[in-house]
Structure 1
């Protein structure tokens, strides 16, 4: 009975590990929200390490002064449901989830957000768009 229980626990552990494996490793750029300020739109990226650690960062260049602002944070191990991103530079917090092709802005529970801030110029008439972005390499 002990062996069956141990085998059962091992199978559950392997299954939960397989579900939380990151969809890729390496750095990918993305742009979920359209920029409106004169200080330059931040260029966001996600960098997934081989050990499953996920780093988010941004680089922003002020168009007037040429000053560069950047920050990178460790958001923890990959979580397919939702990940919290908090940048201290601008006290900015948001939630995302991502797969191999796209990244999605979500609420705290992982529900994909819709907002007019996520619309491209050609979509502004629809009023509310899915907050997502393809990855760029």
Structure 2
């Protein structure tokens, strides 16, 4: 009975670690919220390390002064359900989940959000759009 229980625990451990493997390694840029103003919308990115650590960051260039603002934060190990990005400079918090091709803006529970802020200029008449972005390399 102990052997069966040990084997079951081992299998569960293997399955849970396999599910949390990041879908890629390296840096990918994304743009979930469409920028309409000329003030310098931040260019966000996610950087997934081989260790499974996930970093979120942004680069923002003020178009009037040319001043560049950057920030990067460690969000911990990859979690396929939801990840929290908290930036201190602008007191900004957002939740996302991502796969190999897209990133999605979610709530704290991992539910994908819809908002008019996520619509492109071509979709602005829709009212609300899914908050998602393809990754750019």
- TM-score, scaled to structure 1: 0.98
Equivalent residues, number: 137
5+ unaligned residues in a row in structure 2: which ranges?
Answer: none
* Structural mapping, 1:1-137, within 5 Å: 1-137=1-137
Structure 1 runs (4+) greater than 2 angstroms displaced:
36-39
CA RMSD, Structure 1 to Structure 2 (Å): 0.8
Pairwise CA distance, 1:94 = 0.5
- TM-score, scaled to structure 2: 0.98
Q: Distance in 1 between matches of 2:66 and 2:81?
A: 38
Q: Distance in 2 between matches of 1:73 and 1:15?
A: 28
Q: Deviations over 1:60-108 (max 9, x none)?
A: 0000111000000000000000001100010000000000000000001
5+ unaligned residues in a row in structure 1: which ranges?
Answer: none
1:105 counterpart SS class: strand
Pairwise CA distance, 1:35 = 1.6
Which deviates the most, 14-23 or 36-45?
Answer: 36-45
